[in-house]
């Protein structure tokens, strides 16, 4: 499986820049989070014993937003970057029901670090670093971790179906960055879409291929919940 330690996320400066600038160059980041919270509210808010897992949690933003409205029984955050986990711990503070685990996707398989039955599993902008066959392995692993009726929600970049569509999607991304009120910051970040495309760490697959993979694994009601250009929110239920 692809090695986390060979990726850019082990670089301290890169991780810090991501935390500082993500809201500027990630289109509709807030809307993606709010859509995920809406799904959680509709299907899980009435339950008092939800176990939540965030795979590739970054600095813990999603869990912070979730906790503003909901009170899951337990929360587990996993990330391969120690710096990201430290930022998440700082953001969320010490709580008895929150567990932080430093682990790459590879070590999750080999070390059996997760053995709970989760009602809600979320992943954000992390799985696209894996090639499709490894994505399928991870999706199968996630399916096993879910309780019956549980849901997996995946916010990530996906590959366009053609070069023509890709060029349009990248132009949408450029436009989003240009229109940010902080003009100085946005001008410095206009190269992000091109850097994303050239970076060999990124191995996105089409939305269709991943929806198909989830369905073949056994997920039900598989669908795309929100999309803008190459950014997509999708998943399914067990």
pLDDT at position 209 is 98
Q: Is residue 196 part of a domain?
A: no
Q: Can you tell me the mean pLDDT for 151-159?
A: 98
Domain with residue 111: its CATH number is: 3.40.50.150
- As for how many domains the chain has, the answer is 1
Span 43-91, pLDDT tens digits: 999 998 999 999 999 999 999 999 999 999 999 999 999 999 999 999 9
Q: Is residue 192 part of a domain?
A: no
Rounded distance, CA 236 to CA 39, Å? Answer: 11
Q: Is residue 187 part of a domain?
A: no
Q: Is residue 42 part of a domain?
A: yes
Q: Is residue 139 part of a domain?
A: yes
Domain carrying residue 125: 4-160+203-237
Q: What single string gives the DSSP state of each residue in 100-154?
A: EEE--HHHHHHH----S-EEEEEEES-GGGS-HHHHHHHHHHHHHHEEEEEEEEE
Span 101-138, pLDDT tens digits: 999 988 887 767 898 899 999 999 999 999 999 999 99
Span 218-237, pLDDT tens digits: 999 999 999 999 999 999 99
Q: Is residue 193 part of a domain?
A: no
Inform me whether the pLDDT recorded for 28 exceeds 70: yes
């Amino acid at each position: 499986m692809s090695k986390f330690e060979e990726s850019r996320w082990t670089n301290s400066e890169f991780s810090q820049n991501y935390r500082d600038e993500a809201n500027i160059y990630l289109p509709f980041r807030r809307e993606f989070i709010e859509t995920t919270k809406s799904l959680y509210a509709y299907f899980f808010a009435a339950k008092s014993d939800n176990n939540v897992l965030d795979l590739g949690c970054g600095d813990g933003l999603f869990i912070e937003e979730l906790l503003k409205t909901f009170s899951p029984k337990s929360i587990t955050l996993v990330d391969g970057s120690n710096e990201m986990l430290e930022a998440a711990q700082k953001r969320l503070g010490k709580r008895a029901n929150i567990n932080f685990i430093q682990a790459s996707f590879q070590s999750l398989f080999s070390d059996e670090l997760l053995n709970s039955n989760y009602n809600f599993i979320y992943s954000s902008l992390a799985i696209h670093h894996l090639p499709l066959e490894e994505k399928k392995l991870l999706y199968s692993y996630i399916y096993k971790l879910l309780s019956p009726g549980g849901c997996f929600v995946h916010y990530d970049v996906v590959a366009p179906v053609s070069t023509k569509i890709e060029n349009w999607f990248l132009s949408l991304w450029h436009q989003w960055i240009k229109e940010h009120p902080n003009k100085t910051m946005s001008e410095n970040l206009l190269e992000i879409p091109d850097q994303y495309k050239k970076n060999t760490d990124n191995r996105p697959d089409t939305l269709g291929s991943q929806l198909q993979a989830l369905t073949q694994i056994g997920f039900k009601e598989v669908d795309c919940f929100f999309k803008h250009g190459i950014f997509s929110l999708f998943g399914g239920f067990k």
